[in-house]
Structure 1
Amino acid sequence: MSGRPQAARRGLRRATLISFAAAGLLGSLVAPNLAEAKSAPKPRVEDLQLLAINDFHGNLEPPAGSSGTIKEIDPKTGQVVSTPAGGIEYLATELRQAREGKRNSVTVAAGDIVGASPLLSGLFHDEPTVEAMNKLGLDVTSVGNHEFDEGAKELLRMQRGGCHPVDGCYADGRTFEGASFKYLAANVTSEKTGKPILPPYWIKNVRGVKVGFIGVTLEGTPNIVTAEGVKGLKFGNEVTTINKYAAELRARGVNSIVALIHEGGYPASTTYNYDCGAAGAGVSGPIVDIARKIDPSVGAIVTGHTHNSYACAIPDPNGVPRSVTSAASFGRLYTEIDLKLDKTDGSIIRPSVTAANHVVRRDVPKAPDMTALIAYYNKLAAPIANRPVGYIGADINGRGSSDFEKPLGDVIADAQLAGLAAKDKGGAQVAFMNPGGIRSDLVYRASGAEGDGVVTYAEAFTVQPFTNMMQVKTLTGAALLALLQQQVSGLNDAAPKILQPSANLTYTLDLTKKGADRILATSVRLDGAPLDPAATYRVAANEFLAGGGDGFPAFTTGTDKLVGPSDLDLFTAYLTTNSKPGTPLTVPAQTRIKIIGAGTDQD
């Protein structure tokens, strides 16, 4: 453990700071007479600290592999290094220490607090994470797309409490009390009533100044959640919704407004303390256009979804820089946003806003209440969690791989084909896995007492936590080619989503071309033979993909659907069948997709 006092440690953190006043960015907008400026009374202000997280995804224990590190620049060498980070025991300590000495502090989040969670939380329908967030002091969060993984009714149970309708109560028979923090869903409305399914905003009285928080998720949520999860719901435009409720808040006398948005951007650097530069030029993605259009009355924007870290300034519709932040994911960072409230008119003094991301390092004391919570649920989960299901000889990266073809994606696709190839199982001839569904890596180093190279059920669950049911459909060769082209066209044109194929499918991806042409049609081979547009093929995918999710409508043209076991069941069965002590599973060679134009050609 570090011997430095906490204040000194935080002072040494390299953090991206936004300070509009220091940069003189408002000077051209306000140029008062000097004498008037000297005589004008100073505004009465109230300081407010916001502590923000996003995309926690139930990671109560420190995440394993690359999911549990943050990239930063070593101040001694100037090199980019990966620092271990995350874990609710450390996050709780960091946030509690950050609040010390602060008269006013509010803890906020930008969605995906639950969903796609490791076994410790997912096995209990994320009740442990909600309990942890209650203890953590979370005040308010927007919903994210993963809050809808189990549907709107389950989301409402997370807010209101009550035992699970199927699995009942877990903790010694006591009833789950629900979230003490507020879920906001301003742009998620019921198709029947047209009204938000949860409150659109929350108002906090900060010593006489009313501060409003508006929460939205991305408009495209239905494209990345199973159809059953968003059944009966509509998702409105982020900007339109925020501006609507900002006006409503102002009409209620609330002039300090913060937006919590589960949509994000892509900074030019992966280091957590990257300086976005003037006018947010160093960040791209959906949040840039959204931030530029949100009403200027919104004083700060907290974002998520992309799992990136940034503390940037993006101009509002009047061209005035405004704080836009994101704290990576899995509790590895938190953002500290300090602002001043004008007690005269109740507004956020925009030039006062500063924001910095801080690493949740693992050299601070663990929070005892969080340690106790983890131990309690680990005891309940142990009979299932600790069961060995396979063996690996080295790390097999999935979430932690930046390659289009991910080693763990190859393994998962092979597992799906192996489990569904038999005639009575669907007769699958090829399988595809969506990259976003790979939630972690398989790490060689032991996470507990199981030993190095042993894959436990809990570790397999962390990789495939959705337990999506598998489907096998008949697609024409033309539809199969369209499927491959949709990886780099349509909804995925700007940000390709490269499916992970089973070993018997190969093709070339040419990044020097545009749109669908990036898939070289003549290069596609299945079992070594060219794809025949007129032939039919049995294609396996999880129910999310098979329903057209992630921008793949070609899947919906399939016929003769057969529903199989869950993706997790096939994954664990494959690991058990294909690896033994002494003969572990090896890392795939990543030779299924030949890539041209990524700096150098990649095989």
Structure 2
Amino acid sequence: MRLVPRWSSIATIASASALSLGALSTAAFAATAYENEIEDPTETSSQSGESSPMSGDVPAVDEISQQSGVVPQSHVVDPKQKIAPADIVELNLLNVNDFHGRIDGELSDDNTSLIKSSTVDFAWTIEQLRAEYGASNTAFLSAGDNVGASLFASSIDKDVPTIKLLNILGLQASAIGNHEFDGGWEDVRRIQNLMDAPILGANVYEAGSDVPALPEYTVLDVAGLRVGVIGAVTQETPSLVNPAMIAGLEFRDLVDAVNRVAQQLEADDRADIIVAEYHDGAAEGSSESNPEAQVAASETFARIVNDTSSNVDVIFTGHTHKEYAWAVPVPGSTDAMRPIVQTGSYGEYIGQVVLSVNAQTHEVEAFDARNVSVAAMVGETPMATLRENSVVEQAYQVILAALVKADDEGNRPTGLLGAPITRGYPEGGYWLPFEESGDSRAEASALGTLVADSLRDSLNGLESAPDLGVVNPGGLRTDLVPNDDGVITVAQARAVLPFNNELSIASLTGEQLITMLEQQWQRNADGSLPSRPYLQLGLSDNVSYTYSEIVDPGYDDGRTVGVINSLTINGHPVDPEQTYRVGTFAFLAAGGDNFRVFNEASSVLNTGFLDWESWLAYLASTSKTSPIEPDFARQGVETEGLTDTVWTAGETRTVTFSRMNIFSYGAPENTEAVLNLGDTEIATAPVVEGSVSFEFKVPDDLEGEVELWAEVNPSGTRVSVPVNVVTPATEPAITVTAAKAGNKEKGKNLAATGASVAMMLVLAGGVGAGGYLLVRRSHTIS
């Protein structure tokens, strides 16, 4: 293979000469064989084309095909059909990932037409890119999450408008995404029965067996070539959906599954070209990033790049909502390259890979890969011009009908804001008003605080009212941006929380709350690193904690884990033995997003209240007297100099606070911090890039348990750490228990070994009557 760049505008083009992946090209390929080898298609399908079996309680392929559940016959080919002699065939592969039901647009005043619509723009761009090479030479594919976490216009109709749209646009095959499982296994069946394209999941099995639960692949006829498409979903799916929704399913290694199917397709001569659709990908992606860095940063992405079979010609990815089009080495080859593409999310880009294929040998002679910006391609093209295309016109009518229905139900005011309240965005970046993507789940946010407040306050009328609210960042699907008059509508509010989660109250000890916060540094159950290595929980405004980062002793690549140094609720240090009630979503209460400590809760109350109902009521009641303003205080602050919280009067101490800024829209940059010990102001210092250091003398006349606290301005962040001040004559002995290294073999990290990083302060004297000191700081990833 060789790379022949063809495009120079509105594109991301990877240059083979610019890549130097070193060991990536030497990774050995070994296709893993399972007992459940691919069945002969004639035994599993009545189609003249080919699709792999769906088993278990899901209808068989022939049954689904009668309900428009597999690729139409016009898009498939008999696997034994021979290719007519030709020189070079150009294969135009279009791809999307993580569309998430983006049925969007602006209605005219009389609701009879669309003034503008990013979804219409998306449809028109697909049609233009298809026309470049012709429909017969084009395949339209997806890497999953077509539906789920959808906008209001799609979610209120169970994503039927989105499915209709993709059917109209001729989607021919899709990997299943984790969000297709949001409604459970039965809902997967409903979606498949409505969708013309097969939903593929080669690594999804019936639990305890080697029986595939979904079709593993399909074979399409594109330009007279047999194109095999294999789908696989992130192995983290059980931690990303409510576990009860996927009982009876197992999610195994996605690369092994793709390799197994690719090997069989090649061995049986069923496909000329093979495409892998992975619903997983690089943790980062932009023109400033590169595949080498992402391979080093992500075990999963390294596996996809290094270990995907050389039988696979094209790799499309999804799930991580990143945008890249790179060329990476083919395993076992010294010079061959292949494209790997992800389109970001929400239909903002269309991935396009054009293969120049020798029709005799079926070898890829050259390829081009790019991401096409929908907005840039449409430009100022009038809506009337977009609608001249008959397919776009059909899409337009579906979008219009969905938005009119949503407007009827969703245009009712439900609250009043004084300013936009948004998710967190990458540090150092800028949030553009009304941007639909780019949020970072590793950043604290004003929206996270507001939703967590609602989870606490919406349930305060119950006998078991929560002490705090907690929200996972992936539960916040868009920003809360008011209309010009400050009004938030039902549709806008529901778009923030589109999952229809039940509200739950989980009872956790103070020690388990610390573990919950430490599990923000993510590890899978087997100790491996997930595609998002850190997830910042949103916490209600009555919670404050400090932390330090240490090197995980189970790895030799410098990755870190967090150790919580202090945790307060309502200004009081948590008692490790006391039970606290956490208001949250049923998803998180079931241990979702790898916050497995919730599975150890002494009790979980499922309230029966739905998230969106409580959220709408909260916004209405909270803004009844005045608009809701964003809270830019940060709940978690990194510290240095606080691992020892037993101090001696008269000694000099140095304390550093970092990561005090918040990166939501409108958040101010902190400029000053005031440090206090109890009621005594100690020092004032400037904040520079979110950090401040204090060197100070502990007052000679101070003794006992006091609060060390800093007020950070202008954000209002308040850092609080309990310390115990003793006189030199009564200074206690301090015993430090070092981090247990455990088994330091690569991959045997804290989660795998069960080791913990602990610091125990053993006090020679007792703490004052009625008081206590949080004396154990542990980091156990489990």
- Alignment partner of 1:139 out of 172, 182, 185: 172
Is the contact made by 1:112 and 1:146 (CA closer than 8 Å) also made in structure 2? yes
- Alignment partner of 1:102 out of 120, 133, 142: 133
Q: What SS does the aligned partner of 2:99 have?
A: coil
Is 1:18–2:14 an aligned residue pair? yes
Structure 2 partner of 1:3:
none
Is the contact made by 2:295 and 2:302 (CA closer than 8 Å) also made in structure 1? no
| CA shift for structure 1 position 21 | 8.9
The CA deviation string for residues 228-253 of structure 1, in whole angstroms up to 9 with x for no partner, is 22121111211110110001111231
CA gap 1:485/1:267 in 2 versus in 1, 3 angstroms: closer
- Alignment partner of 1:418 out of 434, 450, 457: 457
Is 1:123–2:161 an aligned residue pair? no
Q: What SS does the aligned partner of 2:244 have?
A: coil
The CA deviation string for residues 195-233 of structure 1, in whole angstroms up to 9 with x for no partner, is 323311111123442111101111111111111221211
Stretches of structure 2 that go unaligned for 5 or more consecutive residues are 1-5, 26-84, 107-115, 387-391, 426-438, 553-558, 639-656, 660-688, 692-711, 718-782
CA gap 1:511/1:370 in 2 versus in 1, 3 angstroms: farther
Structure 2 partner of 1:157:
190
CA gap 1:23/1:378 in 2 versus in 1, 3 angstroms: closer
Q: What SS does the aligned partner of 1:483 have?
A: helix
The CA deviation string for residues 67-99 of structure 1, in whole angstroms up to 9 with x for no partner, is xxxxxxxxxxxxxxxxxx982200111111112
Q: Which amino acid aligns with 2:274?
A: I
Is 1:322–2:334 an aligned residue pair? no
CA gap 1:310/1:469 in 2 versus in 1, 3 angstroms: same
Is 1:552–2:595 an aligned residue pair? yes
- Alignment partner of 1:112 out of 124, 131, 145: 145
CA gap 1:11/1:258 in 2 versus in 1, 3 angstroms: closer
Is 1:216–2:207 an aligned residue pair? no
Is the contact made by 1:511 and 1:597 (CA closer than 8 Å) also made in structure 2? no
Structure 1 partner of 2:273:
256
The CA deviation string for residues 98-157 of structure 1, in whole angstroms up to 9 with x for no partner, is 122414011111000000101111111111100000111211110000010011221121
Structure 2 partner of 1:370:
395
Is 1:288–2:302 an aligned residue pair? yes
Q: Which of 371-380 and 186-195 deviates more? A: 186-195
Is the contact made by 2:105 and 2:403 (CA closer than 8 Å) also made in structure 1? no
Q: Which of 403-412 and 512-521 deviates more? A: 512-521
Is the contact made by 2:11 and 2:371 (CA closer than 8 Å) also made in structure 1? yes
Counterpart CA distance in 2 for 1:285 and 1:459 is 37
Stretches of structure 1 that go unaligned for 5 or more consecutive residues are 1-9, 30-41, 64-84, 161-177
| CA shift for structure 1 position 284 | 5.1
In the alignment of these two chains, the number of paired residues is 529
| CA shift for structure 1 position 276 | 2.8
Give % identity: 31
Is the contact made by 1:267 and 1:282 (CA closer than 8 Å) also made in structure 2? no
CA gap 1:280/1:530 in 2 versus in 1, 3 angstroms: closer
Counterpart CA distance in 2 for 1:11 and 1:312 is 14
Is the contact made by 2:424 and 2:444 (CA closer than 8 Å) also made in structure 1? no
Structure 2 partner of 1:90:
121
Is 1:482–2:515 an aligned residue pair? yes
CA gap 1:489/1:303 in 2 versus in 1, 3 angstroms: closer
CA gap 1:293/1:275 in 2 versus in 1, 3 angstroms: same
Is 1:497–2:540 an aligned residue pair? no
Counterpart CA distance in 1 for 2:175 and 2:400 is 29
Counterpart CA distance in 1 for 2:144 and 2:98 is 6
Q: Which of 526-535 and 364-373 deviates more? A: 364-373
Structure 1 partner of 2:421:
396
- Alignment partner of 2:284 out of 232, 251, 267: 267
Is the contact made by 1:435 and 1:499 (CA closer than 8 Å) also made in structure 2? yes
| CA shift for structure 1 position 304 | 0.5
Structure 2 partner of 1:167:
none
Is the contact made by 2:291 and 2:328 (CA closer than 8 Å) also made in structure 1? no
Counterpart CA distance in 2 for 1:279 and 1:318 is 21
Q: What SS does the aligned partner of 1:95 have?
A: helix
Structure 1 partner of 2:44:
none
Structure 2 partner of 1:520:
564
| CA shift for structure 1 position 340 | 1.8
Structure 2 partner of 1:244:
260
The CA deviation string for residues 43-82 of structure 1, in whole angstroms up to 9 with x for no partner, is 832110001110000001159xxxxxxxxxxxxxxxxxxx
**What's the TM-score once normalised by structure 2's chain length?**
0.64
- Alignment partner of 2:411 out of 372, 386, 394: 386
Report matched runs for 1:157-176 at 5 Å.
157-160=190-193
Q: What SS does the aligned partner of 1:573 have?
A: helix
| CA shift for structure 1 position 387 | 1.4
Counterpart CA distance in 2 for 1:443 and 1:413 is 18
Is the contact made by 2:542 and 2:571 (CA closer than 8 Å) also made in structure 1? yes
Counterpart CA distance in 1 for 2:277 and 2:328 is 15
CA gap 1:383/1:399 in 2 versus in 1, 3 angstroms: farther
CA gap 1:470/1:13 in 2 versus in 1, 3 angstroms: same
**What's the TM-score once normalised by structure 1's chain length?**
0.81
- Alignment partner of 2:87 out of 29, 40, 44: 44
| CA shift for structure 1 position 479 | 1.1
Q: Which of 274-283 and 180-189 deviates more? A: 274-283
Structure 2 partner of 1:354:
368
Counterpart CA distance in 2 for 1:156 and 1:477 is 42
CA gap 1:182/1:559 in 2 versus in 1, 3 angstroms: same
Q: Which amino acid aligns with 1:258?
A: V
Q: Which amino acid aligns with 2:279?
A: H
Q: What SS does the aligned partner of 1:524 have?
A: strand
- Alignment partner of 2:621 out of 552, 577, 598: 577
Is the contact made by 1:546 and 1:556 (CA closer than 8 Å) also made in structure 2? yes
| CA shift for structure 1 position 541 | 1.4
Greater helix proportion = 1
| CA shift for structure 1 position 399 | 6.2
Structure 2 partner of 1:303:
317
Counterpart CA distance in 1 for 2:564 and 2:210 is 45
Counterpart CA distance in 1 for 2:19 and 2:443 is 40
CA gap 1:286/1:452 in 2 versus in 1, 3 angstroms: farther
| CA shift for structure 1 position 557 | 1.2
CA gap 1:283/1:529 in 2 versus in 1, 3 angstroms: closer
Counterpart CA distance in 1 for 2:20 and 2:290 is 17
Report matched runs for 1:463-474 at 5 Å.
463-474=496-507
Q: What SS does the aligned partner of 1:150 have?
A: coil
| CA shift for structure 1 position 343 | 1.6
Report matched runs for 1:46-85 at 5 Å.
46-61=89-104
| CA shift for structure 1 position 279 | 9.4
Structure 2 partner of 1:334:
350
Is the contact made by 1:86 and 1:360 (CA closer than 8 Å) also made in structure 2? no
Higher RCO, Cα 8 Å, sep 6+: 1
Is the contact made by 2:285 and 2:322 (CA closer than 8 Å) also made in structure 1? no
Counterpart CA distance in 1 for 2:86 and 2:297 is 34
Q: Which amino acid aligns with 1:416?
A: L
Q: Which amino acid aligns with 1:406?
A: S
Counterpart CA distance in 2 for 1:418 and 1:22 is 54
Structure 2 partner of 1:148:
181
Q: Which amino acid aligns with 2:409?
A: I
| CA shift for structure 1 position 345 | 2.7
Q: Which amino acid aligns with 1:99?
A: R
Structure 2 partner of 1:535:
578
The CA deviation string for residues 296-330 of structure 1, in whole angstroms up to 9 with x for no partner, is 11011000000010001222322543211000000
| CA shift for structure 1 position 193 | 6.4
Is the contact made by 1:335 and 1:355 (CA closer than 8 Å) also made in structure 2? yes
